Structure 1
């Protein structure tokens, strides 16, 4: 017997909303503040993730690169310096083939990461080895790091400086939450554009 579509839809949306605890939103607020600081200082944001989280990393990079400065009221200004680390298949396949898949993000940070940059790590389970290594290495570089994770938070929740934990045992809700968090930050940043950045003509 088929279950009711509307029942399933309402259940899904209810779980999605319940995942955004006050604790999680406080850390989202901290992320937004750090992104504003990076935007003003000219530092960069690096984003990593696997599978659906990799796709989300590309989506978020697009929003932060263009949307935050171009959308809404106020001047059209340049967005954040941002890169999604899963975006270049030549780099990913080279590093995976030569050094192991567990190093595909860490080795990019060795070249691209700098002190006071921000790493945003996306992982549903919180246990992906390449994400764990990226977070650990970001700390060595003096980067600020955030992980957005679900389920029990996994290893990443324990090692990240800032964990946005959505305590829901559902991978689709985990991945939806990543985009929601980014879009919340995007809209807030769009309404708080730095006045020190010269508008584009």
Structure 2
């Protein structure tokens, strides 16, 4: 469930507390959470709705200027069931604090190396984690397309892989492209030092 940045800014302030999506199968559930750039959202409710019954208040609560604007957005796709998703901001994304933590001791370094090695071993395309980190570290804002071209991968598949690095706190997304987080820079420096010393 994706949100535009302008919507995320208003979610962060609590101004927007619901959304509408058409799904064949919902990607969230009541009681679950969703990590976004605005923080972690707690999903309070999920219910199918009829577009014809939506009100001006529904539109405003979802961040739209009017019911007409909401219906125009929903009209872009007629596939799937229309759902109302109610939520509230439950806190900061724990990955943010992790990304900023560049104090990586030997045990944390070893654990991260093992996790990356496991990703490499499961990859049908061969090892990719260290080279991807090195490419991201070569220039802030390097895009998935550029990295995919360098690694000989399809862009969508690479983006899925980079999300895994983000889960470990090693990378962060920019408005365009990626960069290493402080944790990622610290890890890569120690990883290279260990390889050079081997």
Larger radius of gyration: 2
> Whose helix fraction is larger, Structure 1's or Structure 2's?
1
TM over 0.5: no
TM-score range (shorter-chain normalised) is under 0.3
> Whose strand fraction is larger, Structure 1's or Structure 2's?
2
